Structure 1
């Protein structure tokens, strides 16, 4: 089950349980006490604990929230060949999956369509980790270990000429990577 589907089902179950409790309370029925005693009154959802939530990683741009682990460019190259090449191409040029590198400067170019890639569009390297961790590989999302995601991230950033070949990505080094288009975004006025 995909993460989005799981989150949707959990949100639906929580909403349904809350709604049914309020409806019973409004009607003055005794169902309120039954639903308060059993949060699974309708059979939806489960109690979600720290272990289940541990799999969901959503790091901030400054690296807060990144899990422990590490990976090198060379480890990432091997993993890329095994897990990513079929969709993203031998040279990260895309195919069934999106193109990952190239396109620098195309977002602001007056001619031609923009080429949105990790290299040209994404302002923070932590976003790359987050996306790969949650959504890849396409056939089995959220199946890669943190070390594997760090390694793939290192490899993609290396191929995009953002980090050197001897780069080792981890929760400390990844957030320090300055992406080529980091300054291409303006903060929202809030």
Structure 2
């Protein structure tokens, strides 16, 4: 073990001595790429939604509206019923999470319904991310929760109702608290 300490000490000493003998490199200015972001544009990108519902915007959407939006914006990749196409399956889990080939659908895997809203709002539709308004995102969330058997067919989602949905795998993740 002493040989390891000697090796580390020698390496540190060499680094220090070499650093002292090396002249300072000339300062290089970074390229001026892009333009400054306007405060209102930056605020529009501050879209954080937390598990308890903080950050959810006003609005609402129904399962029925969500079904129509899903056909228009999502079915091309996720299949007509959300059971997979060229993209992941979102509904219809048949294998449990402890199975080697578990189905990680919204209803079987996701811990919070609010995460669904956050993801759809930021990333969907694939061809135009971030273009859906809050009512459309609530409607898509409602349809996907219904298609996973988590809410009724006549349900309407808004900030309070979405945050109140208890997902089956809510306790399946290890929660890390900030110090």
TM-score of the aligned structures, taking structure 2 as reference length: 0.77
Number of residues paired by the alignment? Answer: 152
Unaligned stretches of 5+ residues in structure 2: 1-25
How far off is 1:168 after superposition?
0.9
* Partner residue in 2 for 1:100: 90
1:161 to 149, 161, 164: 149
Structure 1 CA distance for aligned equivalents of residues 119 and 34 of structure 2 = 28
Q: Secondary structure at the match of 1:80?
A: helix
What does 1:11-22 correspond to in 2, within 5 Å? none
How far off is 1:120 after superposition?
1.2
How far off is 1:167 after superposition?
1.0
Q: Is residue 148 from structure 1 mapped to residue 148 from structure 2 by the alignment?
A: no
Contact 1:76 1:154 survives alignment (8 Å): yes
| Larger Cα-atom Rg | 2
* Partner residue in 2 for 1:72: 62
TM-score of the aligned structures, taking structure 1 as reference length: 0.72
Contact 2:82 2:90 survives alignment (8 Å): yes
Q: CA RMSD in A?
A: 2.2
Structure 1 CA distance for aligned equivalents of residues 46 and 127 of structure 2 = 18
* Partner residue in 2 for 1:117: 105
Unaligned stretches of 5+ residues in structure 1: 1-25, 32-40
* Partner residue in 2 for 1:46: 36
